[in-house]
Amino acid sequence: MARATIQDWTDSVVLLKFDEHKDVKYQVYRDEQRHFLELRDPEDTHIHTLELPDGMKLDRTSYEVLLRYVLLDVVAA
């Protein structure tokens, strides 16, 4: 099975904390049996790719919540 897009690139403004925000775009895709959420900045520079746990089926608002946690974790590292 090849790579399949679940949600194509979507622009988002992620609130970090205290009026801080970050413009990003993300996509959700399946590669073989694994699901991923890939995060890039508006200039298409890779920020992070998160492997989603097996069986995790989310809607768009849940992906937006995940983005915030991923960004806060990446910024803190």
Domain around 56: 4-76
* CA dist., res. 42 & res. 12, Å (int): 10
| C-beta separation of 6 from 28 below 8 A | yes
Q: How many domains does the chain have?
A: 1
For 72, other C-beta atoms within 10 Å of its C-beta total 14
Dihedrals φ, ψ of 75, to 5°?
-65, -35
What does DSSP assign to residue 32? T
Q: Which residue has the tokens 């790719």?
A: 49
End-to-end CA distance of the chain: 34
pTM of the model: 0.76
- The pLDDT tens digits along the chain (77 residues) read 588 898 899 888 887 777 778 888 989 898 888 888 899 999 999 988 988 876 666 767 777 777 777 777 776 55
